[in-house]
Amino acid sequence: MPKKFRVGLLPFLNALPLVHGLQDHPRVKPTWGMPAELFHLMQDGKLDAALTSSFVYAAKLRTRITDLGVAAEGRVITVMIYSQDPLDEVTVVEEDPASLTSNALTRIIFNERQQRVKFTPARDVRAKLQPKTGRVIIGDQNFHPQFTYHHAYDIAALIDELFKLPVVFAMWQGSEPVSDELVGILEQAYARVEEDWDGLCKFAEREWQVSHKALVDYFGKALHFRLSPRDLEFLEFFRQKVHKLKLARLAK
């Protein structure tokens, strides 16, 4: 019987184009988890490859195995900061516990703005927003926020405004040595998605309860899944910022 590759998959909507063709692949033994969980499993030799976050890449592990990834330029739609007051008046930021990458990006943004704020974990991402408080929210709940707000700021748009760079949110990393066959499976799975974007959007519409139109815009315009030289420039920028601002401790 051919060997099954142990592959870590992210359950986020933005990762769907990269994982959709792998969850039932006959040569893949999937493990679903959060980025930090998958990183530790791979570090412990329990995964051959995993779709990991840019924060993991920047802080600890740099074994990118393909140029497939999740990236956005100018806007991302599903990684936002919400507030009742303008961003200049925010003094507290509630961080989303689900995303070390987005929390690190938020800290980089406020540091560049030379704006002193207190960072605290969000106890309830659906709770009423307090005055002068920003809340980082990631994922498909941004299509239907469950609280009222007056201001919404797209984190990819803020990075573009401040640094003129795209943002990479996730990428494939692997345990060395990485099998060329495994890399081929990852590439072929995405190639099949590229051949049927409409089918992927219909699947996401059923599973995530997001409108077909919004999904077409999200996958086709907000995100891209093949990392460019500018995306790699962002990764180096992000790595330097994570270490300069001592953000690696966020993972502890």
Tell me the pLDDT of the chain (252 aa) as tens digits: 678 999 999 999 999 999 999 999 999 999 999 887 888 898 888 999 999 999 988 987 678 999 999 999 999 999 999 999 999 999 999 999 888 899 999 999 999 999 999 999 998 888 999 999 999 999 888 898 889 999 999 999 999 999 999 999 999 999 777 889 999 999 999 999 999 999 999 999 999 989 999 999 999 999 999 999 999 999 999 999 999 999 988 766
Same fold for the domain at 5-71+166-228 and the one at 79-163?
yes
pTM of the predicted structure, to 2 decimals: 0.93
- The residues that bridge with 7 in the sheet, in sequence order, are 30, 49
CATH number, span 79-163: 3.40.190.10
Please name the CATH architecture into which domain 5-71+166-228 falls: 3-Layer(aba) Sandwich (3.40)
Q: Contact 63/22 with Cβ under 8 angstroms?
A: no
- Domains of the chain, residue spans: 5-71+166-228, 79-163
- Specify the amino acid at residue 89: E
> Which of left, alpha, beta for 213 (phi over 0: left; psi -120 to 50: alpha)?
alpha
Token representation of residue 214: 């919004």
Give the pLDDT score at 207.
92
- Structural element, H or E, at residue 93: strand 92-95
Q: How far apart are CA 165 and CA 235, in angstroms?
A: 10
